[in-house]
């Protein structure tokens, strides 16, 4: 697999909008890529030396430095290191942004973010990397889910295996069974309203996010969002019906979670309030809330 890539221009533009960059802001970017995003941020902030981008791969760093220099951006700081460590010698930063899919927040980033600063991180969740837009205040990091995206996974300590299934088994001759008619209106493709949404219908994205909070078997299968029990079977829903393979009981479980999501008003990904706390710190789960325990942080969510 490739070690580095450039995101679609529409997604790059949307992420820059979400960051709310302005003149004079100092930015740390995790994942250098081609340097394209760093150059754009340098233009917005007005000073190349305000942009620090890091990458764990020496050949990517060498290429990024060369490309930036040839494009007229030789003073952007491109550092060869694991993004997990950040850049403490350059801190504090007004903004921290990751352009690679992470399984957790680094425990070092919050300390390198200025008070009142903003962090934009694609965090692994049921097969995708929704963008978490977080602000630093006196209680820690809090914010919301801004957009559903998909990124190349990070390497090193920020990658965690097994948070949610990353693939599923395709049946052979004993193919999947169509169990039921589709939920009314579910999965019907409409004009894309969320750049970077991987061409999914809005309700598929929103239900998939809820599904990932409710069940760690959640994931995206060819029919649509579903429950993936590995070699023991799966069930998934799409615009042409609900399908299952090996284990028909998963259909009832999936339908029950869909009814729960529907009874709650079909919350969209942007309807959740999110807090992050170190895993070793005491916490109170919000009433009618959810939690996702990652390696270094506990993610707490509630609606409203």
Q: Return the active site residues.
A: 7
What is the distance in angstroms between the CA of the first residue and the CA of the last residue of the chain?
A: 40
Cα(223)–Cα(244) distance, rounded to whole angstroms? Answer: 10
- Confirm if 214 and 260 have CB atoms less than 8 A apart: yes
Question: Can you tell me the distance from the alpha carbon of 43 to that of 40, in angstroms, rounded to the nearest whole number?
Answer: 5
Task: Tell me the HSE value of 99 on the side-chain side, using a 13 A CA sphere.
Answer: 31
CB 207 within 8 A of CB 182: no
The pair of structure tokens assigned to 260 is 């729960």
Nearest CA-CA partner of 106 in 85, 124, 88? 85
- Quote the distance between the C-alpha of residue 298 and its chain's center: 15
- What are phi and psi for residue 180, nearest 5 degrees? -160, 160
Q: And the tokens for 176?
A: 């999947």
In 3-state terms, what secondary structure has residue 114?
Answer: strand
């Amino acid at each position: 697999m490739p070690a580095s890539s450039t995101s679609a221009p529409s997604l790059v533009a949307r992420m820059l909008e979400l960051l709310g960059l302005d003149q004079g802001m100092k930015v740390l970017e995790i994942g250098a890529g081609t340097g394209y995003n760093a150059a754009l941020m340098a233009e917005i902030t007005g000073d190349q030396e305000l942009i620090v981008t890091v990458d764990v791969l020496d050949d990517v760093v060498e290429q990024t430095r060369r490309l930036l220099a040839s494009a007229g951006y030789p003073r952007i700081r491109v550092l060869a290191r694991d993004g997990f460590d950040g850049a403490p010698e350059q801190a504090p930063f007004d903004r921290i942004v990751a352009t690679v899919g992470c399984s957790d927040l680094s425990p070092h980033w919050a300390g390198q973010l200025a008070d009142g600063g903003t962090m934009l991180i694609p965090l692994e969740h049921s097969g995708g990397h929704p963008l978490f837009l977080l602000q630093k205040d006196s209680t820690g990091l809090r914010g919301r889910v801004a957009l559903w995206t998909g990124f190349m996974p990070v390497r090193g300590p920020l990658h965690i295996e097994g948070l949610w299934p990353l693939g599923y088994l395709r049946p052979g001759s004993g193919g999947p069974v169509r169990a039921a008619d589709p939920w009314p209106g579910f999965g019907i493709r409409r004009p894309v309203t969320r750049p970077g949404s991987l061409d999914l219908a809005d309700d598929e994205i929103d239900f998939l996010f809820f599904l990932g909070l409710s069940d760690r078997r959640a994931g995206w299968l060819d029919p649509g969002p579903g429950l993936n029990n590995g070699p023991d079977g799966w069930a998934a829903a799409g615009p042409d019906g609900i399908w299952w393979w090996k284990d028909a009981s998963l259909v009832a479980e999936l339908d029950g979670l869909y009814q729960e999501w529907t009874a709650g008003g079909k919350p969209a990904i942007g309807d959740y309030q999110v807090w992050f706390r170190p895993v070793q710190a005491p916490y109170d789960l919000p009433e009618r809330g959810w939690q996702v325990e990652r390696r270094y942080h506990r993610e707490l969510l509630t609606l409203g």
